[in-house]
Amino acid sequence: MLTLHHLNDSRSQRILWLLEELVAPYELKRYQRDAATRLAPPELAAVHPLGKSPAITDGDLTLMESGAIVDYILRRYGRDSTLRPTEGTLEFEAYQEWLHYAEGSAMLPLMLQLYVGRLKDAAAPLQPRIDSEIANHLGFVEGALEGRQFFVGDSLTGADIMMSFVAEVAGSFGRLGPYPDLTAWIGRMHARPAFRRSVEKGGAYRLG
């Protein structure tokens, strides 16, 4: 059976949400961040050498990286689901782009903000460029959601699940104000019964 190694307040929340959307069989193993350092516990290194979450184990397979996990779960357990568009279609290519964009491009300036924010005045020279890049990416995402309920097609896909963490982190920095479509979208995602179940099972979900 697939096991999700779930760290509180992390990207693994969206994997838990995906499994709840699919109503797929899985085992949940929870890990807690160190209260002082906010780092993952050393037990995660026994799952994967990097000691990061999300990670899944499924038989002989151990897999990390959110996009790879989402893709694997949907290919393995979601073949009859609309969460993964049909290969060979334009919707599938758009889905693939969002799947990789979420971590490949969108998260970089947000993670820079997370780290330089701890430097206070020492980060001042970097802040204008970081602010510009965050605005650039959030503006792009806002435009993609204009007039749409989901990132791809007319129903939830893995693209929405991957992009949720981007919106959540941006919200934790107070950056969603200028982006009403993105704000409304993440509100709809959080209102989904499967997302609410994932929070109940994975523990309180608070970023920032």
Confidence class of residue 10 from pLDDT cuts 50, 70 and 90?
very high
The pTM is what?
Answer: 0.94
User: Cis before residue 180, ω within 30 degrees of 0?
Assistant: no
Confidence class of residue 122 from pLDDT cuts 50, 70 and 90?
confident
**208 in a domain, yes or no?**
no
Across 177-205, average pLDDT: 96
**95 in a domain, yes or no?**
yes
Residue 102 has pLDDT above 70, yes or no: yes
Residue 132 has pLDDT above 90, yes or no: yes
Q: What is the pLDDT of residue 208?
A: 63
Q: CA 90 to CA 69: how far, in whole Å?
A: 22
**Shared-domain flag, residues 25 and 58:** yes
Residue 74 has pLDDT above 80, yes or no: yes
Question: Which residue segment(s) compose the domain that 54 sits in?
Answer: 3-82+194-202
Q: CA 190 to CA 208: how far, in whole Å?
A: 17
**33 in a domain, yes or no?**
yes
**Shared-domain flag, residues 17 and 68:** yes
Please enumerate in sequence order all residues whose Cβ is within 8 A of that of 24, keeping only pairs 6 or more positions apart, or say none: 2, 73, 77, 78
Instruction: Identify the CATH number of the domain in which residue 126 sits.
Output: 1.20.1050.10
Q: What is the pLDDT of residue 162?
A: 98
